[in-house]
Amino acid sequence: MKPDEHVSVLPEIVAMKAIESCPTGKAGGPDCILYEHLNIAKEFMSNVLANLYTHMFHTGYIPDRMKCGTIITLHKGGKKRTEDPNNYSAITLTSVILKLFATVIFERSTHTILANLSPQQGGFQQNLGCIMTSFILRESIYFASDYSSQVYVCFLDCIQAFDRVWTQGMFYKLLDNNIDDTSFIAITEMYKNVTSSVKYKGFLYNEGQDRVVRVHHFCTYSTLTI
């Protein structure tokens, strides 16, 4: 498996699909680059990032410095006890440059993955979502009630689900969905040599340690394939 040397990322794609869709008011990663920085200099940065992403596709390599993250904790709110660690969510702040690269990969390969999704999949497809899923469930219950039949429903709520995604299984499913070699190599490269540090009261701890949470902002692929 080798990356396609003829792949080219157009500045227009970076500007329209990635930079223009960036949220504002979000924290940046260890490099301190924010989405606002890229948006203000969109015309210049779209060319720079297009060249960078094209080279990353060609080589199948992502610098380890881009895969560093800073973990912070946020209280879940409400009346949950503040002294209980389970009432906090761990958030990993990563490079927005790499997040935009993930967006480019997603735009490049999403049509292939979506083409293989079951029509019964309640999300990630046009005109399908929570409202349609709720409607189908409700109508199924009404139908069963009218005919005095039973309805079996299974609800699954996984604690910290994305923290425990079986990444090797996700890679297998990507290949099973006929993702192109270049995109696959780029995605798997994102999960190599991923490190992080924990920020608490302004200090960094365990800097450069292997990160346990390995899905973070690339978890869209896990929801599409697993």
**Per-residue pLDDT tens over the stretch 89-111:** 888 889 999 999 998 998 888 88
Tell me if residue 196 falls in helix, strand or coil.
strand
In percent, the amount of the chain with pLDDT more than 90 equals: 26
Count of Cβ atoms closer than 10 Å to residue 117 Cβ: 15
| Cα dihedral 176, 180, 181, 183 sign | negative
> pLDDT by residue (tens digit) across 27-73?
888 999 999 999 898 889 999 999 999 999 999 999 999 998 898 88
The predicted model scores a pTM of 0.79
Report how far residue 13's alpha carbon sits from residue 2's, in angstroms, rounded to the nearest whole number.
23
Report how far residue 53's alpha carbon sits from residue 48's, in angstroms, rounded to the nearest whole number.
9
Read off the pLDDT of each residue in 161-176 and give the average, rounded to a whole number: 82
Q: What is the pLDDT of residue 97?
A: 93
Give the distance from CA 118 to its chain's centroid: 21
